[in-house]
C-alpha cells in the first residue's frame, strides 16, 4: 500500500528495555543475597552501565552479533547484567541449566556453538569436568571468583561503558534455551528480540503478572529456566525492584522478603508449600506478599486457598520454554468478585485462559485432524500458536509448528466453554485402555492427597485384553505408612471405576529427569518386565 | 543473520484483537444507551459477527484495502462494529469530529478521500449541508435511521458473515484521525495496525489503564477523538465490558453506571467535576467506580483529591492524537503507599512518566538544539518519540518527526529528575517578557481557582519595553462577581511578581475551537488593538 504518512520505525530490541529502565527508574534497586548471606545492591542504571561495559568487553573478545554467549549460573545481579550485555551486543544469550546430566551438558554447549561461558564459582567442578568436551568455548569467565578464570567484575571493569548497543532487526534471535525432553537430545528454543518484547508487554498485564513500579519481585524460578518466566525483561519495563537469593529454603526466603519488602514471589508449587509450612510451623509473620505467581506444574487447590486466606492474589500460569514461556494464566473473570472463596479458588486451580497474542486448541489424540469442542469434557492433544510461540527449534531442518503455526505442546488437556484450560496429562504418559484414555496425572493427584504419600506415578503396563492398564507406583513419606487398600478406596472416590490401577506398588524412590520432573521413561523401563494378573 | 530456528511470524492486526475477544470473552457485553434512554446490548462475539458482515458489505461496494471509510458518530455499539469492520476489511477508518467547523469538515473529508460515510441520524442536517462539498464520498449509510440513507443494520444485515479478514502487513495503516490546530488546515494522523496493537499492550498495563476482564468501562471521551484513548482495542484484549452513553450529563451517567455496574469511567476533567458536583448536590451514592481515567487537559488537584477520598484510583494521562494517544501517565511510584494523601495527590496531579515504548525530552525554546536537563525547573519545548508516535502526517511531503524521530508536541513542559512530566503551556501561547518566558496556563490555573471565575485566558500583548506582557481575560460565572483587585491578589499568591498580568479584562465569552479548547488565536485577534499603559 502506497500511502504517505505513517508512524515511526522502531526495532523492538532488549536494549530499549534497559534504556527505559535506566532512564525512568534508574534508582530502583536490584538486590542479591549470596550463598554466604551477604547482600549486594545495584540499580537499573547500574545494570545498564555494566551491560554496556560487557558489550565493549565482548567486542574486545571478537564476539559478533549472532554469536552465542553462555551462562551457567544461579540468580543474581551479575547474571542480570549478562542478560542485557549479551543481547545488547547482538549476541545470543544461552542460559545453561547446571542440573542437566553430563551428556546433555556436553551436547547443548557444542550444539549451541557457545563461544563464551560465564559461570558461577559454585559450578567450578562441573566446568572442570566438562571443559575437555566443550569444543567451541574459547573464553571462560567466572561471575564471582578470579581463582580459576577471569573474574566478571575485572573483565567488564576494564571498560568505560562508552558504547552503543548493537543495532539490528527485531526479528534477530537474542536468547537460546534448551528443553530437556525425556527422549532424544535437548532441543534449543531461540527467542527473538521481538518475541521477548511482545511477551514482556503481555506479561505485565493486570490479568497476567500484574507488575508495576511498586512491585518488589523475588523470582525463585532459576534464570536458566524458561526465560526466567520473563521477569528480567518485565521488571525493567515497569521499574520493579528485583531481589535474588542464592538459597531457596523457606527460612532464608522469609527473612529476605521481610528485609527487602518483597511483595511478589514467583516459584513452582513446592516453593509455596514450603513457605506456608515454615510460616505455620514457626508462627512467623507472613512476608508482605500481595502477589503469588506459580507455574511449572499444577498448583494444588489447597495451597491456593491457604495463600488466598493470607490475602495474597494467586496467579497460576501455564506455558513452556517454547511459549516464552507464559501462554495462559488463571485470572479473575468478570464475575470473580461475586464468587465465594471456593468459587474463587476453583478459578485459580485451573491453568487459566489464553493471553491476548496466544491461541489454543485441542485435537483428538488418535486423529489429530479432528479439532475437539470446548466442552470441558473432551480431552485431547493441546496445541498453541501465537506471537511468542516457537516455529522451529535451533538448527532443526524443519518447522516444529505446522503450516497453520500450531505447535503441539505434548500436553493432554481439555478446554472449557469459556476458554479455560485444564491440563490432564502429558501425551506420552496417558494410558490407553480398551480404546479409551486414562489420565496418569489424575491418578497421581488423587494418590498424593494421602498424607503418607510422598510421591506417586502412574504408568501403563501392556495388557492382553485392554491393550494397557494403569499401575500406580508410590513412595511413602519417611516414618509413615499407608496400605494398598487405603489408597484404592481413596482413588475410588476420585476417578471412574475403570481408571482404578490394576496394581499399586510401593518403592523406595522414583527416577527423575535433569529438571526434577518424574521420568516416566525410566520408570517404564524399570517396570518393563512387570506382568499384570489377567 | 542466518540462523535456523525462530519464533512464529504473525502480523499484528486489529483482526487478532476481535478474534481474541470473541473467542475468549465472547459473552462479555457491549451496552449502548441511546439518546431516548433506551438501551441495546451486544457482545464481543456479536461485534465480531457484525464486523465480518460489514467486511462483506464493504467488499460488495468495491471498497479495497487502503480505502478510507469515514464515520461521523457518537459512541455506540454500532460505531464499535464499524471500527473492526473497516479495519478488518483492510480499510482505513476515518473518525470525523462532528464538532469541527464546516470549512474543516469540507477539507478533511476531501483530503482523506473518504469513499464511504457512516453517520448518526443526529448529524443529518450536517450531512445535508456538507454533501455538495464532499466530492469523494460515494456511499452514505446511516447508523440509526433508514429515512435518508441506507440503514447500517440493513446494510450489514444483507450479509451472512462468512468472510475472512483482510490479510496484510502490520505496518499497513488502519485509522485516520485529524487534529485541528488553531492555525492552518487540520492534519491527518495515520495509525497503523502495529502501532495500535503496541499501544493496546502498553495501555493495558497496571500503571496505565489497568484493564482486566472485570473492568466495565464507560468512555465519555468521544470515539472520534484521538483513537478513543485506545479503549475499543484495549477492552477487546482483556474482555472488558464497554458501556456507551449518548448523553453525557452527570445525572444520566450516574444512573447508567449504577444500572450497568460501571467501575471505570474515562473522561476529561470537566466530566469528573460535573459528576462530583452531582453526587454532592443530590446526596446520591457514588457509582461503583474503582478507576478514573482523565486526560485531554490537566486535572485540577482538588478533583483528584475528591475522587481519591471516594476510594477511586485516579489515572492522569497525557498524550495527543499524534501519540495514539497515551504517552505518559501519572502512576504510583515505588514509595507511593508510604505517602500521605497529599503526597499521593501530588503524584497524580502531574502528567506522569513515559510508558515503556515512549521517550521524552525537552529542548530550549530559543535554541532547540540544546537539550534541557531533567531538573524540574527548566521549561522547554516537549518532544516525544517511540513505538506509537507519528513520523509523517497523511499526504504530507516530509516527515514531521526529525531524523532522530523526535516529534515536537507544541507543548511547553519541564521534566523532573525522576522523569515526571509537568506541562506548563502550549509553545505558541507562552508569553515572552524581557527575554523570559511566562506560562499562560499557570496564570489561568490561578485565576480559575476563584469560585466566581468560569473561564480565564492569558495572552501576550505587545509592549515597547518588555516585548510582550500578559493580560488576563476572564469570564465570570452567572450571577457571581469578582473584582480585578481580588484576582490580582489571588495571582500574586501563586506566581512570580513579574508574571502578574498588566491588565485583567472581564468579557462575556471567550472564543473556542472546534474541539472545545480556548482559541488563543481568535482571542489575540480580538485584542489586536489593545494597548497597555506604559
Q: Where are the beta strands (DSSP E) in A124-181?
A: 139-142, 150-151, 173-179
Judged by CB atoms closer than 8 Å, whether chains meet at A391 and B9 is answered as yes
Contacts of A113 in chain B (CB under 8 A): none
Contacts of A397 in chain B (CB under 8 A): 4
Range B99-108 average pLDDT:
93
Residues B444 and B422 in one domain: no
Residues A455 and A409 in one domain: no
Contacts of A87 in chain B (CB under 8 A): none
A262-310 pLDDT, tens digit each: 999 999 988 998 999 999 999 999 999 999 999 887 788 889 999 999 9
Residues A142 and A181 in one domain: yes
Range B336-364 average pLDDT:
96
Residues B410 and B439 in one domain: no
B62 Ramachandran zone, left/alpha/beta (phi>0; psi -120 to 50): left
Q: What's residue B145's pLDDT?
A: 95
B236-245 pLDDT, tens digit each: 999 999 999 9
| B202 part of a folded domain | no
Range B200-219 average pLDDT:
97
Stretch 232-271 of chain A: residues touching chain B, C-beta under 8 Å: 237-239, 241
Residues B160 and B176 in one domain: yes
Our count of domains for chain A comes to 3
Query: What is the rounded distance in angstroms from the CA atom of residue B111 to the CA atom of residue B28?
Result: 38
Contacts of B24 in chain A (CB under 8 A): 353-354, 418-419
Q: Which 3 state secondary structure label does DSSP give B414?
A: strand
B355-369 pLDDT, tens digit each: 999 999 999 998 999
Q: What's residue B1's pLDDT?
A: 46
Least confident of A166-180, A218-232, B96-110, B511-525: B511-525
B405-422 pLDDT, tens digit each: 999 999 999 999 999 999
Bridge partners, A113 (sequence order): none
Contacts of A92 in chain B (CB under 8 A): 3
A36-62 pLDDT, tens digit each: 999 999 999 999 999 999 999 999 999
> What proportion of chain B, given as a percentage, has pLDDT over 70?
98
Contacts of A30 in chain B (CB under 8 A): none
Q: Which 3 state secondary structure label does DSSP give B219?
A: strand
* B4 touching chain A per CB within 8 A: yes
ipTM value of the model? 0.91
Residues B390 and B463 in one domain: no
Residue ranges of chain A with per-residue pLDDT less than 50: 1-2
| A211 part of a folded domain | no
Query: What is the rounded distance in angstroms from the CA atom of residue A511 to the CA atom of residue B366?
Result: 73
CA distance B47 to chain A (A): 17
Residues B416 and B472 in one domain: no
Q: Which of A403, A426, A449 is the last residue of a domain?
A: A426
Q: At what angle do helices A250-260 and A269-282 cross, to 10 degrees?
A: 80
Find, in chain A, the residue whose alpha carbon is nearest to that of B400.
A5
| B234 part of a folded domain | no
Q: For chain A, state the CA radius of gyration.
A: 24
B484-494 pLDDT, tens digit each: 999 999 999 98
Q: In which residue are the cell numbers 492524537 written?
A: B321
Selecting from A7, A23, A216 the residue whose C-beta is nearest the C-beta of B419 gives A23
pLDDT above 70 (res B181): no
Q: Where are the beta strands (DSSP E) in B14-67?
A: 29-33, 39-43
The neighbour count for residue A140, using CB atoms within 10 Å, is 16
pTM of the model: 0.91
| B203 part of a folded domain | no
Q: What's residue A1's pLDDT?
A: 46
Selecting from B12, B206, B386 the residue whose C-beta is nearest the C-beta of A8 gives B386
Q: Do the bridges between strand A380-386 and strand A358-363 make them parallel or antiparallel, or are there none, so unpaired?
A: antiparallel
Bridge partners, A14 (sequence order): none
Residue B430 pLDDT level (bands cut at 50, 70, 90): confident
Stretch 446-475 of chain A: residues touching chain B, C-beta under 8 Å: none
* B498 touching chain A per CB within 8 A: no
Query: What is the rounded distance in angstroms from the CA atom of residue B123 to the CA atom of residue B74?
Result: 10
Stretch 10-29 of chain A: residues touching chain B, C-beta under 8 Å: 10, 12, 16-17, 20, 23-24, 27-28
Q: Which of A148, A174, A192 is the last residue of a domain?
A: A192
Q: What's residue B227's pLDDT?
A: 96
CATH of the domain at A482: 3.30.300.30
Judged by CB atoms closer than 8 Å, whether chains meet at B206 and A204 is answered as yes
Residue A432 annotated as catalytic: yes
B374-397 pLDDT, tens digit each: 999 999 999 999 999 999 999 999
| A132 part of a folded domain | yes
Least confident of A141-150, A504-513, B15-24, B525-534: B525-534
φ, ψ (nearest 5 deg) of residue B173: -70, 150
DSSP classification of residue A527: T
| B47 part of a folded domain | yes
Residues B70 and B148 in one domain: yes
Q: Which of A385, A403, A426 is the last residue of a domain?
A: A426
Helices (H), A165-243: 193-204, 231-238
Range of the domain at B342: 248-426
Judged by CB atoms closer than 8 Å, whether chains meet at A168 and B1 is answered as yes
* B403 touching chain A per CB within 8 A: no
Residues B323 and B465 in one domain: no
DSSP string, B385-407: EETT-EEE-TT-SS-SS-TT--E
Query: Cis omega (within 30 of 0) on the bond before A325?
Result: yes
Q: At what angle do helices A193-204 and A14-24 cross, to 10 degrees?
A: 50
Q: What's residue B137's pLDDT?
A: 98
| A254 part of a folded domain | yes
Maximum average pLDDT range among A462-466, B398-402, B517-521: B398-402
The long-range contacts involving A99-104, CB below 8 angstroms and separated by at least 24 positions, are: A99/A514, A99/A515, A99/A516, A100/A180, A100/A186, A100/A514, A100/A515, A101/A514, A102/A129, A102/A130, A104/A178, A104/A180, A104/A185, A104/A186, A104/A514
| A214 part of a folded domain | no
Q: What's residue B207's pLDDT?
A: 94
The CA-based angle B341-B345-B349, given to 5 degrees, is 175
Stretch 200-239 of chain B: residues touching chain A, C-beta under 8 Å: 200-202, 204-207, 210-214, 216, 237-239
Judged by CB atoms closer than 8 Å, whether chains meet at B395 and A66 is answered as no
Q: What's residue B460's pLDDT?
A: 92
Judged by CB atoms closer than 8 Å, whether chains meet at B356 and A237 is answered as yes
Residues A422 and A507 in one domain: no
Do B92 and B190 touch, CB atoms closer than 8 A? yes
* B395 touching chain A per CB within 8 A: yes
Residues A439 and A336 in one domain: no
From the list B159, B322, B444, B468, the catalytic residue is B322
pLDDT above 80 (res B2): no
Q: What's residue A343's pLDDT?
A: 96
CATH of the domain at B420: 3.40.50.12780
Residues B315 and B389 in one domain: yes
Helices (H), B356-464: 440-448
Amino acid at each position: 500500500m502506497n500511502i504517505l504518512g505513517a508512524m515511526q520505525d522502531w526495532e523492538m530490541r532488549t536494549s530499549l528495555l534497559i534504556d527505559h529502565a535506566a532512564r525512568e527508574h534508574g534508582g530502583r534497586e536490584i538486590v542479591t543475597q549470596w550463598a554466604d548471606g551477604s547482600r549486594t545492591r545495584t540499580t537499573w542504571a547500574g545494570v545498564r552501565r555494566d551491560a554496556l561495559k560487557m558489550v565493549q568487553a565482548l567486542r574486545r573478545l571478537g564476539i559478533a552479533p549472532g554469536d552465542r554467549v553462555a551462562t551457567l549460573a544461579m540468580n543474581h545481579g551479575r547474571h542480570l547484567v549478562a542478560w542485557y550485555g549479551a543481547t545488547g551486543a547482538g549476541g545470543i544469550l544461552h542460559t545453561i541449566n547446571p542440573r542437566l546430566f553430563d551428556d546433555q551438558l556436553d551436547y547443548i554447549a557444542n550444539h549451541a556453538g557457545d563461544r563464551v561461558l560465564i559461570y558461577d564459582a559454585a559450578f567450578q567442578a562441573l566446568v572442570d569436568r566438562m571443559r575437555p568436551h566443550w569444543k567451541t568455548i574459547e573464553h571462560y569467565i567466572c561471575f564471582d571468583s578470579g581463582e580459576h578464570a577471569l573474574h566478571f567484575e575485572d573483565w567488564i571493569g576494564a571498560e568505560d561503558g562508552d558504547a552503543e548497543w548493537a543495532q539490528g532487526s527485531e526479528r534477530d534471535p537474542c536468547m537460546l534455551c534448551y528443553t530437556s525432553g525425556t527422549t532424544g537430545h535437548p532441543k534449543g528454543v531461540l527467542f527473538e528480540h521481538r518475541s521477548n518484547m511482545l511477551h514482556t508487554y503481555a506479561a505485565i498485564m493486570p490479568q497476567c503478572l500484574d507488575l508495576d513500579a511498586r512491585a518488589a519481585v523475588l523470582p525463585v524460578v532459576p534464570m536458566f529456566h524458561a526465560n526466567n518466566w520473563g521477569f528480567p525483561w518485565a521488571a525493567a519495563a515497569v521499574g520493579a525492584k528485583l531481589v535474588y537469593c542464592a538459597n531457596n529454603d523457606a527460612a532464608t526466603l522469609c527473612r529476605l522478603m521481610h528485609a527487602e519488602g518483597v511483595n511478589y514471589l514467583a516459584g513452582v508449587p513446592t516453593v509455596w508449600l514450603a513457605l506456608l509450612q515454615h510460616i505455620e510451623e514457626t508462627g512467623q509473620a507472613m512476608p508482605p506478599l500481595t502477589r503469588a505467581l506459580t507455574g511449572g506444574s499444577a498448583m494444588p487447590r489447597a495451597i491456593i486457598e491457604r495463600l488466598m486466606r493470607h490475602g495474597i492474589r494467586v496467579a497460576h500460569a501455564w506455558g513452556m520454554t517454547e511459549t516464552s514461556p507464559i501462554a495462559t494464566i488463571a485470572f479473575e473473570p468478570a464475575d470473580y468478585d461475586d464468587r465465594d472463596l471456593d468459587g474463587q479458588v476453583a478459578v485459580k486451580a485451573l491453568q487459566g485462559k489464553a493471553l491476548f497474542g496466544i491461541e489454543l486448541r485441542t485435537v483428538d489424540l488418535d486423529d489429530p485432524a479432528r479439532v475437539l469442542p470446548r466442552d470441558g469434557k473432551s480431552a485431547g492433544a493441546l496445541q498453541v500458536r501465537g506471537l511468542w510461540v516457537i516455529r522451529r527449534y535451533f538448527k532443526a531442518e524443519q518447522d516444529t509448528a505446522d503450516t497453520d503455526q500450531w505447535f503441539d505442546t505434548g500436553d493432554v488437556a481439555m478446554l472449557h466453554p469459556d476458554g479455560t484450560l485444564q491440563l490432564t496429562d502429558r501425551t506420552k504418559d496417558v494410558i490407553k485402555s480398551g480404546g479409551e484414555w486414562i489420565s496418569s496425572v489424575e491418578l497421581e493427584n488423587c494418590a498424593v492427597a494421602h498424607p503418607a504419600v510422598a510421591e506417586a506415578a502412574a504408568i501403563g503396563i501392556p495388557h492382553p485384553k485392554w491393550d494397557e492398564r494403569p499401575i500406580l507406583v508410590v513412595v511413602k513419606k519417611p516414618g509413615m505408612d499407608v496400605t494398598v487398600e487405603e489408597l484404592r478406596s481413596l482413588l475410588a472416590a476420585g476417578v471412574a471405576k475403570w481408571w482404578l490401577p490394576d496394581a499399586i506398588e510401593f518403592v523406595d524412590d522414583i527416577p527423575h529427569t535433569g529438571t526434577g520432573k518424574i521420568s516416566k521413561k525410566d520408570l517404564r523401563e524399570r517396570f518393563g518386565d512387570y506382568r499384570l494378573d489377567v
